Amino acid sequence: MEALLAELRSSIESGRFAVGDRLPSEATLCQEFGISRSVVREALRGLQALGLTQSRTGKGTYVVSDQAADSPTFGAYSAQHLLEVRRHVEVPAAGYAATRHTAEDIAGLTALLDRMDAETDDAFWVSLDSLFHITVARASGNPVFGKVIEEIRDALAVQSAFVNQLDDRREASNVEHRRIVEAIAAGSADQAELAMCSHLDHVDEALEHIVGRTTPTGATAPDKENRA
C-alpha cells in the first residue's frame, strides 16, 4: 500500500496526472501493480487524506491538487483539528486517570496492551488503538472526556491506520501506550500527562514526515514556492 501510494503521489506531484484528471480504476491498478483491491482502496484513501484527490461516487477518483495539504484530513476533521482537541482532552484525562483509576481500569488497559502487542491484523490493531484511548479517557472518572474521544473515534481510527501503515509506528505506539499505563498505574499524574503528550508529539511528527516524504525515486516533493 505504501509503495502504491508513493507511486501515485509522485505521479500527481510530477504532473503525470494533472489536476482534473481521473485516476485509473481500481481494477486497472490491481492488474498493473499485482495487488488486491483492498490495498488499492487503502492507497486511494491515503491520497484523499493528503488532499490530492477526491472520490466521486460512481465516477471514480479525480486529482484535485498537485501538492499535499499541510494537514491531512481524516473523515470530517483535519489532523491539526484532531491534535488540538486531543492535547486538551487526552493529556489532562491521563492525569486524572492516574489519581482516579480503579483496579478494573488498570486490568482493562493492561489486557488491551497485551492484545495489541500480540495482534497481527492491522485493521484489528487500529480498532484496539481507538479503544485504548477511549479507555484511558474513561479511567479519568469524568464521563465527558470519554464522550469526546468516542465522538472522534472514527476519525482517530482512519488517522491511526494512515500513520501506522505509512510510518510503521505500531511497535513504537505499543511502547508509548505502555508508558502511559505504567504512569497511570503508579498514580503519577505528571508522568501520565507527560507520557500522553509525548505520544501525541510522535503522532504529529509521523504525520509531518508522511506529508513531506520523498518520492520512490529519491527526489523530494517540489517546494510550494518552486512549483510551476
pLDDT confidence of residue 222:
37
Q: At residue 216, what is the residue type?
A: P
Across the chain, what does the average pLDDT equal? 87
> Is the model's pLDDT at 228 over the cut of 70?
no
pLDDT confidence of residue 213:
56
Print burial letters for 89-120: b (CB count within 10 Å at least 16), e (below 16). Answer: bbbbbbbbbbebbeeebbebbeebbeebeebe
3-state secondary structure of 16: coil
Domains observed in the chain: 2-68+214-226 (1.10.10.10), 74-211 (1.20.120.530)
Q: What is the mean predicted confidence (pLDDT) over 55-77?
A: 84
Q: What is the mean predicted confidence (pLDDT) over 68-88?
A: 88
- Predicted TM-score (pTM) of this structure: 0.77
90-149 per-position pLDDT tens digit: 999 999 999 999 999 999 999 999 999 999 888 899 999 999 999 999 999 999 999 999
d(CA 165, CA 37): 16
Question: How far are the Cα atoms of 57, 89, 143, 147, 198 from residue 172, in angstroms, in the given order?
Answer: 37, 22, 28, 26, 12
Print burial letters for 150-173: b (CB count within 10 Å at least 16), e (below 16). Answer: eebeebbbbbbbbbbbbbebbeeb
Q: Is residue 155 within 8 Å of 75, Cβ to Cβ?
A: yes
168-198 per-position pLDDT tens digit: 789 999 999 999 999 999 999 999 999 999 9
d(CA 157, CA 24): 27
CB count within 10 Å of CB 31 equals 11
Q: Which of 54, 61, 66, 59 is nearest to 9 (CA)?
A: 66
